[in-house]
Amino acid sequence: MVEVLLEKAAVQFRSEHGISNKDAIRLKSLLQKLNTITIFKPLAQDFSGMAIKTGNQAKTSRFMLVNSDQSLGKQHFTICHELYHLYIQNNFVSRVCKTGLFDKKQDKEEYNADVFASFLLLPTDGLIELIPDKELRESQISLSTVVYLEQFFSCSRRALLYRLKRMKLIIGSIYDQYASGVKSSALEYGYDTSLYEPGNKGVVIGDYGTSAKELFDKDLISQSHYFSLLSDLGIDISAITSDPDGEE
């Protein structure tokens, strides 16, 4: 029943933000629309990301940190996982996350966030529409279809295989077979491999810089704190403190 409710929440979340239950999500555009401040930075490999929610009903601020050292497909899953914490979970404040474990024995909300992310990133209707009828009838998805699906939805192989297994469209032995040689199989079918590699280092989404400037202008933070926040964005502080006409 919990998974049914989580899928319903994922479908509703898509609908509320103008995304059909068959399309891939343009996650950066969604984060920009939501004004969820998101920073991509290199982190330890066992640290997928984190989410922080502050404020009240009148004004709520949401922040997300994503590990840019993990593959793009993994990052996309992490974003969807953090969206659960920020927009679905009740009474959420903050959380450091290791995503994609799908472990019921771990924290309940971490499991819920993984399942929600799976439904949000890989909607049932969208998957069914793109899988050939013959493969659906035989409940046996080909490797070429798996690669096509993960490229279409911009997800990791592991996330996709989990969904297909839960949908009873692949069996355990096929799961293990398809889980190896991910990059080579993508190349074999003529796809670019950037989805399976790290990326987005230093990318910032949302009004992080604008918010920092407003706080500084209102004397709510010091100049050194303001410069520290800008430095986090990778901005060269010397370019700000130098003469505006370009003369030192």
- The per-residue DSSP string of 97-122 comes to E--S---TTS-HHHHHHHHHHHHHHS
Question: Based on the domain organization, do 139 and 34 belong to the same domain?
Answer: no
Quick one: 55 and 130 in the same domain? no
Both 158 and 98 in one domain: the answer is no
Q: Which of 189, 219, 240 is the last residue of a domain?
A: 189
Q: Are residues 137 and 162 in the same domain?
A: yes
Q: What are phi and psi of 69, to 5 degrees?
A: -85, -10
In this structure, are 113 and 135 located in the same domain? no
Q: Provide the residue type at 111 as one letter.
A: Y
Clarify whether residues 61 and 4 are in a common domain.
yes
The 8-class DSSP code of residue 25 comes to: P
Number of domains in the chain: 2
At which residue do the structure tokens 């927009």 appear?
Answer: 87
Tell whether 103 and 128 lie within a shared domain: no
Same domain? For 4 and 103 the reply is: yes
Q: ∠162-64-21 over CA atoms, to 5°?
A: 45
Of 164, 189, 214, the one marking the end of a domain is: 189
| Same domain? 49 vs 150 | no
Q: For each of the chain's 248 residues, which pLDDT tens digit applies? A: 799 999 999 999 999 999 999 999 999 999 999 999 898 989 898 899 999 888 777 788 888 889 999 999 999 999 999 999 999 999 998 899 999 999 988 789 999 999 999 999 999 999 999 999 999 998 889 999 999 999 999 999 999 999 999 999 998 889 999 999 999 999 999 999 999 999 999 898 987 767 666 656 777 567 776 566 666 666 665 655 554 444 43
Q: How far apart are CA 120 and CA 124, in angstroms?
A: 9
Q: How far apart are CA 160 and CA 170, in angstroms?
A: 11
Sign of torsion, CA 146 120 183 192?
positive
Please tell me whether residues 10 and 38 are part of one structural domain.
Answer: yes
Residues 211, 105 within the same domain: yes
Shared domain check, 67 and 163: no
Pick from 151, 246, 239: which is nearest to 193 by CA?
151
Range of the domain at 56: 1-121+200-230
In eight-state DSSP terms, residue 70 is: S
